[in-house]
Structure 1
């Protein structure tokens, strides 16, 4: 249904805001006046994944932590879920990656930017008594590297900002974003290619061979009629227009081999037509008929 990305400096109060959002959404969904789909709210965080703050002390450990977080996001995003991601999310490339994952699932998105001054973050970090504090050098490094969200880029929009002195979150705006916001279509660059079935080459060979035989038989019986009706195994019926001249078996076989060669690439690598290849027998027959009409006319 929706993905809410929390972003902000380390120790800026992101978890507090994430819990406020979680509670607000729960109350909205349990309200008797709510008549929408049956949804659940899930809060995902570094803590829920047992990612220690020390993971951000080392670039390799941090990369592994981000990988674990992204894997969890992919596992939890769903059409019946309002997923809140409470983590640093300080790299715009990672936010874009999360945004693309949400688009693939056709989910609404929302970014909540939790703002606190660097000095406040350092102060709050030093006073933490829960064992989740950052090393002083690490927090300085993370603040320096932080890439601020922007409402001008699509992966951070809509962007809602919560200042450190705000007592509460902008609940109504978040609710509107996750229930009424626009759903962006999947990015074509992130879509996986549709793979052909395992018997696609066999079906391709069988259908085209049957058509070659049927065309020769019909042409022999119809005395060079241009409009030919074919009936193939599997109750496949189609018509194609042929030139009013003699057509040889070798000519048809050549075009059959060319047609199969073109489609072999789609079989081995996935579709080369962005999802347009349909491997159903009837559609293969009609595509080969069109191919023959175009090439025999030449």
Structure 2
């Protein structure tokens, strides 16, 4: 359904805002007037995953912790779930990674930026007595490294800002973003590329060579000039090709064969052609090579 990314300074009140968002969304879903499909609202955070605040003291420990959060997020995302990721999410590259994962599943996205001054964050951190406080030097370091979300970039949009002075979150704006916002297609660069079968190159070479031989044999046997020619080939293939009204030479056919094979060798190497629509069977190769000959042979 959708992914809501919470971002903000450490100790800025993100968890409280995540709880407010969850309560507001569940209220709308459970309302008698709601006509949509049954949805569940889930919250994911460092606390839920038992990730200690101490990991932020060391970048080597922080990286696998971020990976654990991302993996858990991927497991919970789905068409029947509104997932709220409650965390600093302070690195813009990580927010982009989350955005791409949501696009892969064709989910709507929304970023909620929880705003508080650095002085307030330090004050609130110092008052924590439940063992969730950051060490002062860690907090200072995280505040300096924080990369603020921007509505100008696609992975942070739509961006909804919630300042510390507001008593509640703008539930209407968030609901509209996750239910009416555009569902963007997955990035082309992240799509799995259809791979050609392992014998595609052999089939390409042997089929085109057999067709050249069959065309030359047919011309010699029938002494016909041009028109639709049915070729007799190995493996019970019977492709047809329309030849020009003249005698086609072996050098012409060999030249076209080299061109056709070169183009399709590249497709085999890259793993796709025509957005993966290429059929690498001998029958398909023969049909495509016949069309290539008809298009490129001079009258």
Q: TM-score, normalised by structure 1?
A: 0.85
Q: CA deviation at 1:36?
A: 1.9
2:176 equivalent in structure 1: 176
CA contact (8 A) 1:89 1:95 kept: yes
How many angstroms apart in 2 are the aligned matches of 1:252 and 1:120? 78
Q: CA deviation at 1:136?
A: 0.8
Number of equivalent positions: 297
Please, what is the CA RMSD of the aligned residues? 2.9
2:291 equivalent in structure 1: 290
How many angstroms apart in 2 are the aligned matches of 1:126 and 1:156? 30
Q: CA deviation at 1:167?
A: 1.8
Q: CA deviation at 1:164?
A: 1.3
1:54 equivalent in structure 2: 54
How many angstroms apart in 2 are the aligned matches of 1:4 and 1:109? 6
Task: State which drifts further: 245-254 or 2-11.
Answer: 245-254
Q: 1:116 to 1:190 in 2, by over 3 A?
A: same
Q: 1:176 to 1:71 in 2, by over 3 A?
A: same
How many angstroms apart in 1 are the aligned matches of 2:122 and 2:298? 77
Residues 49-107 of structure 1: per-residue CA shift (max 9 Å, x gap):
22211111111112222222223333332233222111111111221222222222222
1:78 partnered with 2:81: no
Q: 1:40 to 1:248 in 2, by over 3 A?
A: farther
CA contact (8 A) 1:200 1:279 kept: no
How many angstroms apart in 1 are the aligned matches of 2:212 and 2:168? 73
Q: 1:166 to 1:294 in 2, by over 3 A?
A: same
Query: What SS does structure 2 have at the residue aligned with 1:72?
Result: helix
Q: CA deviation at 1:38?
A: 3.4
Query: What SS does structure 1 have at the residue aligned with 2:166?
Result: coil
Residues 175-209 of structure 1: per-residue CA shift (max 9 Å, x gap):
11111101122222333322223443455456545
Q: CA deviation at 1:34?
A: 2.0
CA contact (8 A) 1:7 1:14 kept: yes
CA contact (8 A) 1:228 1:240 kept: yes
1:117 equivalent in structure 2: 117
Matches within 5 A, 1:17-166: 17-166=17-166
Q: CA deviation at 1:40?
A: 2.6
Task: Structure 1 unaligned segments of length 5 or more: list them.
Answer: none
CA contact (8 A) 2:45 2:85 kept: yes
Q: CA deviation at 1:223?
A: 0.9
1:197 equivalent in structure 2: 197
Q: CA deviation at 1:122?
A: 1.1
Residues 130-154 of structure 1: per-residue CA shift (max 9 Å, x gap):
2222111111111112111111221
Task: Structure 2 unaligned segments of length 5 or more: list them.
Answer: none
CA contact (8 A) 2:193 2:276 kept: no
How many angstroms apart in 2 are the aligned matches of 1:169 and 1:22? 10
